[in-house]
Structure formats: C-alpha cells, structure tokens
Chain A
Amino acid sequence: MFGFSIVKASGDSMSPAVKSGAYLLIKHRLHYKVNDIVHVHHALYGHMVKRIVSLHMNNTYHIAGDNAASLSIAQMGIIENTQILGKVRVVINPSR
C-alpha cells in the first residue's frame, strides 16, 4: 500500500535499533545511503535486515549488522541496488 510494506524482524544482529520480534515499516526507494537500515534479499542468506556501511561508485553497497557477532561484511559480499527491497522507515520494537 503506497509503496510501503510491513515485515517482522527475527534475531538480534541489529539490536538495539531493531530488536528481535520488531515490526518494520519498509519503503522502497531508488537509491539508498550509508547508515540506512534496509531490507535486503540476499542470494545465500535470504531476506535480511541490515545497515548500509558503504556505498560504491557503481551503485553497489556493503552491509553489516550492528552487532559484532553478525554475519561479516565479507560473508555477505557486495550488494546490488536491485537486492535492496526498501529502507526501514519506522521500527516498532517489542515493549518488553
């Protein structure tokens, strides 16, 4: 609806910004910038929520979790713009 979608996060790699169980309001954009929390469809790891940590000239990105124990930047590799399905606009974390 209006280019927005709602998804649910599972796991703590983005905590405390996104806690496990949080609902996320996602908005598709044409371009993203460093520090955006995004919904990524990764060929190996599936649908994930991560943060953009670097943006390259050819419109590709590197992403990472906020926690050190997350999958590493190298493991996730270079992310194409088409693999980013949207930017997290609103985070509704569990209250507890």
Chain B
Amino acid sequence: MLFNLLETVNKKHPFTVLSAHCDIPCKIYDPITAQLAVLTMIRMVDLLTDLDDKKDLSLNDRAQFSRLVNEKESHGNKVKEEIRVIWGDYIKQPQLDAYPEIHELVHSIMLGTSAAKQHIDKGVTLALLGEVNRFAEIFWATKGIETFSAISPYPPEQELVYPKLNSTTN
C-alpha cells in the first residue's frame, strides 16, 4: 500500500534515482583489442629476437630490451583483460549453449597468455593468436556476423579474423 502511494507520488514528482545496476551497460564489446594486443606481443618477440642476434648489446640495446619486454608484458595483461571482460560481461547462457567450448577456450587463452609472457617464444605467441582468433570468430558468430581471415597489413603480418560489416557508404 505504501509502495503504491509512493508510486503515485513518483509519477507526479519523480524522486531521485539511485543506481543499483550490476555494471555499466555500455554494450561496447569487440575482440579486436585483444587480437591487436597479441599481434603486439608477437612483434615484441620478433624485435627481441633481433636483439638476440647481436653480438654485444650497447646501453641503448639494453634499454630497448627492457622496453620490449615491458611492452610484451603489458600487452599480455591487455589480452587477458579484454577477453575476460567479453567472457564475463557479454557471454551469457544462450552463447554458451551455442558454443560450449567458450569456457575451455577462455581458460586456455589465459594459460597461453601467461606462457607468452613468461617466454620469448614466437611459437607460443602464434598459438595464442590462433586461440584469440577463434574467440573472435565465436564472438562475431553470436552476433550473426560473418567473419573472414586476412593478413594484418602491418608487422608482424599475421592472420587475423575480421568481421564482415556492411559499408555505410555506396
């Protein structure tokens, strides 16, 4: 009864609304950030390998080594963060029913990213890219958007999964 009375008052003189929402419902999700972060990790491994080929490292080379490792590390964290957000916030029961592999895939991406951070190993980062691309493929499929694979037009020139989006211009 009291609730109904307050409802009537609220219709004429709305009360301040306090948010008790579970999260900010921005609905902006795109796996491309994670994909680009893996590409960056691969690129860092390539540049680190170039340094390894040098006989003696100058002071600048050593500074560069430090920067490259740091970038590889931070982009690994970005991969994990981006995948976790899509998995935790966007993926719900209907997507899990359609793609039951998602949980295992995400867990594997977490482990693969840790391995890619721990080592300077191109094979490990390429395997990680394969898994993140598969995640992107599933993500776009859940939205009913087809995908295609193409080589990124910049180093390290690896295959990425892209969504086939309709152009807004003629």
Contacts and interface: CB of A to CB of B under 8 A. Distances in A.
Do A and B associate with each other?
yes
Interface of A: 5-15, 18, 20, 23-24, 39, 45-50, 65, 67, 69-71, 92-95
B20 to A, nearest CB: 4
A95 B3 contact: yes
Contact of B20 (A5, A11, A92): A11
Contact of A71 (B10, B17, B23): B23
A45 B18 CA distance: 10
A7 B18 contact: yes
Interface of B: 2-3, 6, 10, 14-24
Contacts of A50: 20
Nearest to A45: B19
A36 B153 CA distance: 55
B125 to A, nearest CB: 29
Nearest to B15: A8
B18 A23 contact: no
A67 B3 CA distance: 24
6 contacts: A6-B15, A8-B16, A11-B21, A13-B22, A48-B18, A92-B6
Contacts of A6: 6, 15
Given A8-B10, A23-B15, A13 B20 contact: yes
Contact of B22 (A46, A69, A92, A95): A69
A95 B6 CA distance: 13
A12 B21 CA distance: 6
Given A8-B10, A23-B3, A92-B3, A67 B22 contact: yes
Most central of A8, A14, A45, A48 by chain B CB within 10 Å: A8
Contact of A13 (B6, B16, B21): B21
Given A70-B23, A92-B3, 8 more contacts: A13-B20, A45-B24, A47-B16, A47-B17, A47-B19, A48-B20, A49-B18, A70-B22
Contacts of B22: 11-13, 65, 67, 69-71
A47 B21 contact: no
Contacts of A11: 19-22
